[in-house]
Amino acid sequence: MIVKLSALLLVILCQASIADAQERIRIAWAGASPANAAIWVLQEKKLLQKYGVEPEIISISASPIVLQTLLAGEIDVSAISVTTLVSSRLAGADTVMILGIVRTFVDHIISQQNITAADQLKGKIGGVNRIGSTSDMGLRFALRRLNIDPEKDAKIITAGGNPERFAALTKGVINFTIMPEPFVRQALQLGFRHLFDIGSLKIPFWWNGVLTREAIVKAKRPLLLKFTRAMIEATHFNKTHKEEAKAIWGKYLRITDGEALERAWQTYTAAYPDNLLPTPEGVKTLLDDMAPRDPKAASADARRYVDASLVQEVEATGFVKQLYKR
């Protein structure tokens, strides 16, 4: 009996020792969007565990709260847009993008049925989830490319999340909005019109990326290298295992509509870089847009907003080429 108890105690102690030996990383993501699909796969396929890393993955309701959590030292990395990166860094934070996830806008302009062409948006009211958000930036960029001045030719207001904007379109409170897949299909089913694919403009813009702090890169570089490998592997999985990936996406998006998931998969996987290299061009687009209104943005160097060294170090091992069999 004593021998059995001793053996059991030894097993428990060994398990505890292994658990303690594992490195830990705290990851946050905001918003139910396939922009976060690499993190979902990371979790579902336990990709970090094979590198000896135990992740703590949390979903937070909004990007500003994610940023606060990062700056407070409560998380190590976060999936978030370039708008949050730029605003925080201009305010003096040491935030930096280490992975580029979605390299351009993946949104669409949705309108009331009586609007049949983009030039008819002049004099109309557009709705976004929040002024200053990525969707707000995307809509303004798109309108300018369509020769519509968002400050003079149209009015853009805060109209809330997707359900609130659908309701506002129905009531005529707004005449058009911006929406990514897989929600475009829902808009069509509700009788609204798909007016324009903003992604077709191919504007360099980090719609989503992984942010951390420069202090964390210095303090936890070996850990972040493992995280980088796992995220590249998760992205490869999303691109090459379509049906299984869509099943995971459906779970997190709470969507069972196969056509909606297919449209989302086609859109987002085309926007994922294979190597997740964070390039400064996707930051410069936003800085250039802000420059006339913000002297700090005008003098900012986009290259200082990204740290590509983690991806470059992983790439140098041949890891990405091996994944994609190049």
Same domain as 188, residue 230: no
pLDDT at 2 over 50: no
Q: What is the average pLDDT across 282-298? A: 94
Give burial (CB, 10 Å; 0-12/13-18/19+) of 309: middle
Per DSSP, the three-state class of 110 is strand
Q: Is 6 within a domain?
A: no
Residue 2 within any structural domain of the chain: no
β-partners of residue 97 are: 211, 306
Instruction: Establish if 251 belongs to a structural domain.
Output: yes
Dihedral in degrees, nearest 10, Cα atoms 44, 245, 268, 191:
-110
- 275 and 157 within one domain: no
Q: Which of 201, 234, 252 is the last residue of a domain?
A: 201
* Overall average pLDDT of the 237-253 stretch: 97
CATH code at position 295: 3.40.190.10
Same domain, 231 and 130: no
Last residue of a domain, one of 178, 201, 224: 201
Q: Say what the pLDDT of residue 161 is.
A: 87
Q: Are residues 124 and 186 in the same domain?
A: yes
Per-residue pLDDT at 282 exceeds 50: yes
Task: Tell which of 160, 178, 201 closes a domain.
Answer: 201
- Cβ burial, residue 51 (10 Å; 0-12/13-18/19+): middle
- In this prediction, residue 326 carries a pLDDT of 63
Q: Are residues 231 and 159 in the same domain?
A: no
Residue 168 pLDDT more than 50?
Answer: yes
Specify if 23 maps to a domain. no
What beta strand segments (E) does 159-302 contain?
176-180, 193-197, 208-213
pLDDT confidence of residue 199: 92
Q: Which domain holds residue 244?
A: 29-104+213-324
**In a shared domain, residues 100 and 115:** no
Q: Is-contact 187 166, C-beta < 8 A?
A: yes
| Residue 138 sits in the same domain as residue 221 | no
What number of CA atoms fall less than 13 Å from residue 270's CA on the CB side? Answer: 13
**Are 234 and 79 contacting, i.e. CB atoms less than 8 angstroms apart?**
no
- Note the pLDDT of residue 138: 92
- What mean pLDDT do residues 126-140 have? 91
Domain-located, residue 5: no
| Residue 76 located in a structural domain | yes
Question: Is 13 inside any structural domain?
Answer: no
**Is 217 found in the same domain as 89?**
yes
DSSP, collapsed to helix, strand or coil, labels residue 284 as helix
85-105 average pLDDT score: 96
149 and 224: one domain? no
Strands 95-102 and 208-213 come out as antiparallel
For residue range 99-112, list pLDDT tens digits in order.
Answer: 999 999 999 999 99
Q: Are 157 and 222 members of one domain?
A: no
Residue 29 pLDDT > 60, yes or no?
A: yes
Q: Looking at the structure, tell me whether residues 117 and 178 fall in a common domain.
A: yes
143 with 292, same domain? no
pTM for this entry: 0.88
Q: How confident is the model at residue 16 (pLDDT cuts 50, 70, 90)?
A: very low
Question: Is the pLDDT assigned to residue 17 strictly greater than 60?
Answer: no
Whether 24 is in a domain gets the answer no
Cis before 182 (ω within 30): yes
Tally of domains in the chain: 2
